[in-house]
């Protein structure tokens, strides 16, 4: 009897759990419908996209709309979105997607609201053409409206440059390196004089150079093109590694963050959003950083879109909010708050962008610098397998930096790994 009593208790407890689970759900449902016509929009993104103030503003203007902001970790947010799309439910009403993931989601366009059906066609002319194209599926569905772009510039430590006897003025520094060979030569000078490394990693040479090429890993017919742009970028990165100017640090890792503080590198290819990262990682280096033009001109790294998963219940309200969010006033507001550069070229002529100076970066006119590089950019098609292919080639560069592979044999290995990734 005692045993029966125990298991009975357990069963009762289990039943109670099940019941409470159900009632919890129904309660939630009731709350949603409590206010007549009320709509709750859940927005997923990463880091800080400057939405806090805009949220209050929009809610005040639209009393029936409640906005819930969910800021998470960059990779986790994208992977979570992917899982919810597979599951068919649970996705946020609005989700930010970064350039690194846009290809993956573009090929699942059926799972997103097509902005072409929501009057999005009017927006095409407002955007940088390549930005518009990147989120466009092969059958012409527009899955998102662009918010920011990551126009590239070159950040440098003016204090370290001074010690090495290099010019520190941003105009003069820009003139030092009109192309990447010059850049590597400056690095050699720096390393010879100070005994310290110049750049953080060979992969951070490869990526910006690749983004400046007309064709990246894949052409528009999804064919792997290693001998074109990738070869140029790979050679530059190998030259830099062989010159001994690379600190061989993997980006965004603890070693890299330490590298900032310990002056292990003096330059960093930086898109607009990188400024926030430098500021967070090494706040004591305020005024020691400055921004010059990137060798070779132009280039893009990152930047995001606002998308609406079609499984949501309030897609119309979500579309209204996204359209409001990408309107000029709000984009400028975001630029001022967090520094993300808008993707609509008309705004690059706006005084608010042009006059903006970043105090942390020695008062550099970041608005002007980044706008200029974003406009110069040659559009590049990102293939379906762009992500895995890039990782495979980056790994080969890392192997060279680790001394596992001779730079002379590296290109053959890179081609082999890229081909493997292209069929993965």
Partner 1 sequence: MSLTQLRPSPQHAAPPPKPNRAKLWLYRFDTKATPYIFIAPFFIIFTIFGLFPIIFNAIVSLRTWRLDDPDKDGWAGFDNFSKLLSDSDFWNALYNTIGIFILSTVPQLLLALILANLLNRKLSGQTFWRIGILLPYLTPVVASTLVFAVFFARDSGMANWFLSLVGYGQEQPLDWRADKWSSWIAIATMVNWKWIGYNALLYLSAMQAIPKDVYEAAAVDGAGPWRQLWRITVPMIQPVVVFTVILSTIGGLQLFNEPMMFDENPQSASGGSAHQFQTIAVMIYKVGWKDLNLGYAAAISWALFLLILIVAAINATLTKRIGGDR
Give the shortest CB-248-to-partner 1 separation in angstroms: 8
Strand partners, 271: 152
- Nearer to partner 1 by Cβ, of 260 and 321: the residue is 260
What backbone phi and psi angles, to 5 degrees, belong to 167? Answer: -65, 155
Give the shortest CB-244-to-partner 1 separation in angstroms: 13
Footprint of partner 1 on 373-392 (CB under 8 A): 384-385, 387-388, 391-392
Give the shortest CB-182-to-partner 1 separation in angstroms: 28
Give the shortest CB-46-to-partner 1 separation in angstroms: 13
Residue 251 binding partner 1, by CB under 8 A: yes
Give the shortest CB-278-to-partner 1 separation in angstroms: 19
Cα dihedral 327, 348, 229, 223 in deg (nearest 10):
20
- Nearer to partner 1 by Cβ, of 358 and 390: the residue is 390
x/- letters, 257..286, toward partner 1 (CB under 8 A): -xx--x-x----------------------
Of residues 381, 184, 371, the one with CA closest to residue 272: 371
> In 3-state terms, what secondary structure has residue 272?
coil
Of the candidate residues 70, 368, 395, 407, the single one contacting partner 1 (CB under 8 A): 395
x/- letters, 54..93, toward partner 1 (CB under 8 A): ---------------------x---x--x---x-------
Residue 222 binding partner 1, by CB under 8 A: no
Residue 268, C-beta contacts closer than 8 angstroms, at least 6 positions apart: 154, 155, 156, 199, 200, 204, 274, 278
Give the shortest CB-7-to-partner 1 separation in angstroms: 4
How many residues can be counted in the chain?
424
Residue 8, C-beta contacts closer than 8 angstroms, at least 6 positions apart: none
Residue 47 binding partner 1, by CB under 8 A: no
DSSP per position, 353-389: HHT--BTTTTTB-HHHHHHHHHHHPPP-PPPTTHHHH
Residue 253 binding partner 1, by CB under 8 A: yes
- Nearer to partner 1 by Cβ, of 233 and 347: the residue is 233
Residue 327 binding partner 1, by CB under 8 A: no
Residue 114 binding partner 1, by CB under 8 A: no
Distance, in Å, from the CA atom of 346 to the CA atom of 338, rounded to the nearest integer, reads 19
DSSP per position, 300-319: B---EEEE-BTT-S-HHHHH
Distance, in Å, from the CA atom of 11 to the CA atom of 385, rounded to the nearest integer, reads 51
Of residues 253, 280, 268, 307, the one with CA closest to residue 98: 307
- Nearer to partner 1 by Cβ, of 63 and 403: the residue is 403
Of residues 288, 274, 277, 299, the one with CA closest to residue 183: 299
Angle, vertex CA 103, rays to CA 42 and CA 68, nearest 5: 5
Give the shortest CB-150-to-partner 1 separation in angstroms: 17
- Nearer to partner 1 by Cβ, of 257 and 320: the residue is 257
- Pick the piece of the chain touching partner 1 (CB under 8 A) from 39-47, 223-231, 245-253, 316-324: 245-253
Residues of the shown chain interacting with partner 1 in the complex, contacts defined by CB under 8 A:
4, 7-8, 10-11, 14, 75, 79, 82, 86, 103-104, 107-108, 110, 249-255, 258-259, 262, 264, 384-385, 387-388, 391-392, 394-396, 398-399, 402-404, 421, 424
């Amino acid at each position: 009897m005692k045993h029966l009593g125990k298991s009975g208790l357990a069963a009762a407890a289990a039943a109670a759990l099940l019941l409470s689970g159900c009632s919890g759900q129904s309660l939630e449902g009731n709350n949603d419908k409590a206010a007549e016509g009320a709509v709750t929009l859940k927005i997923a993104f990463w880091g800080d996209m400057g939405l806090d103030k805009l949220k209050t503003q929009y809610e005040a203007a639209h009393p029936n709309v409640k906005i819930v902001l969910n800021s998470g970790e960059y990779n986790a947010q994208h992977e979570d979105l992917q899982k919810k799309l597979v599951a068919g439910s649970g996705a946020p009403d609005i989700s930010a997607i970064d350039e690194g993931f846009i290809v993956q989601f573009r090929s699942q366009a059926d799972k997103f609201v097509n902005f072409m059906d929501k009057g999005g066609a009017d927006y095409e002319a407002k955007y940088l053409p390549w930005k518009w194209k990147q989120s466009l599926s092969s059958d012409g569905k527009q899955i998102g409206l662009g918010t920011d772009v990551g126009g590239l510039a070159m950040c440098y430590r003016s204090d370290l440059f001074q010690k090495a006897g290099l010019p520190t003025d941003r105009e003069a520094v820009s003139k030092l390196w009109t192309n990447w060979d010059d850049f590597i030569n400056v690095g050699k000078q720096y390393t010879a004089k100070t005994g310290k490394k110049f750049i953080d990693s060979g992969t951070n040479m490869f990526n910006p150079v690749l983004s400046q090429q007309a064709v990246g890993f894949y052409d528009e017919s999804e064919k792997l093109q290693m001998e074109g742009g990738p070869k140029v970028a790979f050679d530059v990165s190998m030259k830099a590694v062989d010159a001994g100017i690379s600190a061989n640090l993997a980006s965004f890792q603890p070693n890299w963050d330490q590298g900032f503080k310990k002056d292990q590198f003096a330059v960093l290819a930086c898109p607009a959003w990188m400024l926030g990262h430098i500021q967070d990682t090494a706040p004591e280096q305020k005024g020691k950083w400055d921004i010059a033009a990137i060798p070779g001109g132009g280039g893009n790294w990152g930047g995001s879109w606002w998308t609406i998963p079609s499984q949501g219940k309030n897609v119309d309200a979500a579309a209204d909010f996204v359209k409001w969010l990408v309107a000029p006033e709000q984009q400028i507001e975001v630029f001022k708050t967090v520094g993300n550069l808008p993707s609509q070229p008309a705004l690059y002529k706006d005084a608010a962008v042009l006059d903006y100076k970043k105090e942390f970066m020695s008062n550099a006119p970041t608005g002007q610098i980044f706008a200029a590089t974003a406009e110069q950019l040659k559009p590049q098609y990102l293939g379906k397998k762009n992500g895995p292919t890039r990782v495979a080639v980056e790994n080969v560069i890392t192997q060279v930096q680790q001394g596992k592979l001779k730079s002379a044999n590296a290109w053959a290995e890179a081609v082999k790994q890229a081909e493997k990734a292209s069929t993965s």
